[in-house]
């Protein structure tokens, strides 16, 4: 039922990431951090005719992203600063990370270029970002911890997967609470769109004006979560 109601009020979920779809069109820019094989980027580019930027740290996954005139790809990790990072491949190809070896890590370790969010936006010449998706296997904590207020000033909405509730957690629930509070303090409304912290949606208070019914619906969902 929640997914049906989400869709009724304009919210869509693609590969576990919820966003407000009614503001996306051919003029929009979507930035996909932790693009995996590019399915999220490809779906949005095809559905809305928007430009998509797919950023993926794993060389194995990066090679599988098919570019199109609307979809560009970059083999970067996203972290707290520009540096060379060790990427630890996983037995589950989707679960590699730059934080350190885990019990499910394979023997493969590769050196990858890491970029801070600010550096990435500058390097790629990005202006307004209509949708920022973040699914970077725990590195989201250091990425957001390093942000300054102006770094998200051109972001309209964020869909974030936090990694405190995965089978082998990369972050703590306290990390998630701290980062969520920071994002909210930077001028966003936010709430989890799933039972755990793996599908958070943040909406700019100044750049995205939801219709009254959609705003009431999110307030209803938030109140249900807190009860």
163, containing H or E segment = none
What pLDDT, on the 0 to 100 scale, is given for residue 226? 66
Sign of the four-CA dihedral 176, 127, 39, 210: positive
Q: Would you call 225 exposed, middle or buried from its count of C-beta atoms within 10 A (0-12, 13-18, 19+)? A: exposed
The CB-side HSE value for 205 (13 A sphere, CA atoms) comes to 8
Model confidence, pTM: 0.96
What pLDDT, on the 0 to 100 scale, is given for residue 140? 97
What pLDDT, on the 0 to 100 scale, is given for residue 169? 83
Measured between its terminal Cα atoms, the distance across the chain in Å is 18
Q: Domains in the chain and their CATH numbers? A: 2-226 (3.40.50.150)
What pLDDT, on the 0 to 100 scale, is given for residue 171? 92
- Torsion angle, alpha carbons of 78, 82, 83, 86, to 10: 0
Segment 112-146, tens digit of pLDDT: 999 999 999 999 999 999 999 999 999 999 999 99
What pLDDT, on the 0 to 100 scale, is given for residue 154? 97
**Could you please report the per-residue DSSP string of 44-69?**
HHHHH--EEEEE---HHHHTTPPPBT
Q: Residue 63, Cα to own-chain centre: how many angstroms? A: 20
Residue-level pLDDT, tens digit, the chain, 227 residues: 578 889 999 999 999 999 999 999 999 999 999 999 999 999 999 999 999 999 999 999 999 999 999 999 999 999 999 999 999 999 998 999 999 998 889 999 999 999 999 999 999 999 999 999 999 999 999 999 999 989 999 999 999 999 998 877 889 999 999 999 999 999 999 999 998 999 999 999 999 999 999 999 999 988 877 65
What pLDDT, on the 0 to 100 scale, is given for residue 227? 59
């Amino acid at each position: 039922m929640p997914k049906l109601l989400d869709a009724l009020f304009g919210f869509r979920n693609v590969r576990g990431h919820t966003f407000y779809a009614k503001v996306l069109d051919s003029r929009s820019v979507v930035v996909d951090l932790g693009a995996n094989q590019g399915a999220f980027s490809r779906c949005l580019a095809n559905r809305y005719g928007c430009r998509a930027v797919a950023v993926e740290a794993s060389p194995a996954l990066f090679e599988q992203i098919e570019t199109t005139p609307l979809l560009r790809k970059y083999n970067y990790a996203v972290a707290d600063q520009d540096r060379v990072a060790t990427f630890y491949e996983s037995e589950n190809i989707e679960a590699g990370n730059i934080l350190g070896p885990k019990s499910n890590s394979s023997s493969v370790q590769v050196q990858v270029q890491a970029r801070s969010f600010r550096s990435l936006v500058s390097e790629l010449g990005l202006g307004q970002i209509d949708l920022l998706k973040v699914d970077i296997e725990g590195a989201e904590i250091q990425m957001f911890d390093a942000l300054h207020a102006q770094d998200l000033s051109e972001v309209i909405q964020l869909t974030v997967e936090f990694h405190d509730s995965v089978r082998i957690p990369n972050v703590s629930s306290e990390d998630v609470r701290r980062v969520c509070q920071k994002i909210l303090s930077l001028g966003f409304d936010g709430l989890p769109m799933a039972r755990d912290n793996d599908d958070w949606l943040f909406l700019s208070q100044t750049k995205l004006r939801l219709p009254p019914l959609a705003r009431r619906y999110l307030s209803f969902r938030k109140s249900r979560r807190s009860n």
